[in-house]
Amino acid sequence: MCLTIPAKVLSVEDPHSDVPLKRITIRDSKGERLITALLPDLKAGDWVLYASDMAVTKIGEDDAREILDLLEPKSQIDLSQLDSAFLGILRACHTRELKREEIIRLLGTEDKTETDALFSEANTIRQANLKDFFCIHGIVEFSNQCIRNCFYCGLRRESKDVCRYRMTPDEIVSSVDDAVTRRGYKLIVLQSGDDFSYTDDMLAGIIRRIKERCKVFIFMSVGERGLESYKRMKDAGASGVLFRFETSNKAIYDSIHPGQSYEDRIAHLRGMKEMGYYIATGFLIGLPGQTVADIADDIRTLKTIGANMVTVGPFIPCNGTPMYSHPAGSAAMTLKVTAVARLLMPRAKIPVTTALETIESEEGRRLGLSSGANSLMFNLTPERHRVDYRIYPNKYHGKEEVWEKYGLFKEGLSYKMLEKKMFEAFEAQG
Ligand code: SAH
């Protein structure tokens, strides 16, 4: 479901007539405009959410202010203060691919005016390409068992103090069903550790049962199972994968993923892309030895892989793992990466990741959404398991009320819109 920026109603034409469709004048950050409304009893002073020149929902003033505070960027940038080379790069992204050195220059800045200009440019590009829709998707973490031993992850095989769980296929199907039919979600990620006790048959069966019951896009995030397994899941009805390459620096990748290889990771992604999966991928910020140039290469890798959704988050140290004393990745760098990814991929879905919210809380969410990100991922894992899906500690669970209360297009229309967008994404990439 989606949320859009609220506007205040200034006047309603012919308020007492019986005609259900009314013309109203509204004001938002872009000024005053005339739109239509199909809402009974609307009057001057009310607040509405609107889309495509149609007011769709009336909304309380306090909620409107809460949404505005979250979604509207605060600062106005004085471009005359900006270094001309930096400004040149921001302009160049509209007409050509940015070069590696240019991406490094953008990511390397610590100057306040420059970062504000970068965020503002990314926000403008997001708005021009994706309008004012911010969408929320859900994630169900259905098993925390894992055969891998990634150095950073709290669920690694050797983590001893994890209370392990597995949801049954019935539990998984009914969690998704509830999220779709009762709460209005249209895109759900099913995530787990690399847990082979779920056979290909079981995963395909779960996907098939969900697709029979509800209109929802299913994204699988179940790790390295081989392409045959992903083919089975695709045939059963999965639309996408959430599968990060973690870092594009092979030496770093191999040093923190014992028993795995960078080549295998990338081969999975390439194969999934060829199969027609919608690709959600990305990387971690703050890995040992990672430089700004590595991060620039990570961003370029998103493009070469053909990512449709970008998921980038800071590393967060987790006790009981080999990387416990390694410092957390930087929130500032995560925001710069979000913005640069938006410059390079104007139409991609870029969610604010939970890891950024965890180190920056609500402010991280707000900053992410005004620096190029356009969606959020809410945790739909059943309450009793949430604390145990501990890839890192103190995972953020944010304020979701306002989104679920006013989420637009909870019905079939939203599914159709998403379907169209995914189709366009594939078309655009040929
Ligand atoms: N087994 C699946 C899902 C892995 S968990 C797979 O291999 O794709 C999902 C993501 O959590 C990982 O891709 C990783 O980027 C992230 N993650 C794991 N540990 C983390 C940590 N300590 N800090 C931040 N992100 C972490």
Model confidence pLDDT, tens digit, residues 192-247 = 999 999 999 999 999 999 999 998 999 999 999 999 999 999 999 999 999 999 99
Rounded to the nearest angstrom, the distance between the alpha carbon of 363 and the centre of ligand 1 is 22
C-alpha 283 – ligand 1 centre gap (Å): 9
Residue nearest to atom 24 of ligand 1 (CA): 315
- Tokens found for residue 313: 């988050």
Residue with CA closest to ligand 1 atom 2: 223
Largest CA distance in the chain: 72
Is CATH 3.40.50.300 the classification given to domain 130-429? no
How far is 398 from 308, CA to CA, in rounded Å? 25
Which of 208, 167, 186 lies closest to 385, judged by CA?
167
Residue type at 145 in one-letter notation = Q
Distance of alpha carbon 249 from alpha carbon 254, whole angstroms: 9
Task: Kindly give the number of the ligand 1 atom that is closest to the alpha carbon of 243.
Answer: 8
pTM (two decimals): 0.90
Number of helices (H), then strands (E), in the chain: 15, 16
CA dist 293 and 299 (Å) reads 10
- Enumerate the β-bridge partners of residue 375: 135, 351
Beta-carbon contacts of 53 under 8 Å, excluding residues fewer than 6 positions away, are: 33, 35, 36
Give the distance (Å) from ligand 1 centre to CA of residue 85: 36
Q: Which residue has the higher pLDDT, 18 or 33?
A: 33
Could you identify the atom of ligand 1 that is nearest to the CA of residue 321?
Answer: 22
CATH number of 2-67: 2.30.30.140
Is-contact 132 109, C-beta < 8 A?
A: no
pLDDT of residue 430: 36
Q: Domain segments of the chain: what residues?
A: 2-67, 130-429
Q: Whose CA is nearest to atom 8 of ligand 1?
A: 223
How far, in Å, from the CA of 274 to the mean position of ligand 1?
24
The predicted pLDDT at position 99 comes to 97
For ligand 1, which residues put their CB under 6 angstroms from it? Answer: 152-153, 191, 193-194, 221, 223, 243-244, 246, 284, 313, 315-316, 318, 355, 391-392
If you take atom 7 of ligand 1, which residue's CA is the nearest one?
223
Domains 2-67 and 130-429 share a fold: no
**pLDDT > 70: what percent of the chain?**
92
* Cβ atoms within 10 Å of 292's Cβ, excluding its own: 15
Output the CA 301–ligand 1 centroid distance in Å.
18
Q: 174 alpha carbon to ligand 1 midpoint, in Å?
A: 25
Torsion over CA: 231, 216, 281, 225 (sign): negative
Is-contact 352 116, C-beta < 8 A? no
Q: Where are the alpha helices (DSSP H) in 44-193?
A: 61-71, 84-92, 100-108, 112-130, 169-181
Q: For residue 428, is pLDDT > 60?
A: no
CA 193 to ligand 1: nearest atom: 1
What pLDDT sits at residue 75? Answer: 65
Q: What is the predicted pLDDT for the residue at 150?
A: 98
Phi, psi (degrees; rounded to nearest 5) at 191: -120, 150
Q: Around Cβ 169, how many Cβ atoms within 10 Å?
A: 15
Could you tell me the end-to-end alpha-carbon distance of the chain, in angstroms, rounded to an integer?
27
pLDDT of 33 > 80? The answer is yes
* Token representation of residue 148: 């891998």
Distance in angstroms (rounded) separating the CA atoms of residues 301 and 279:
13
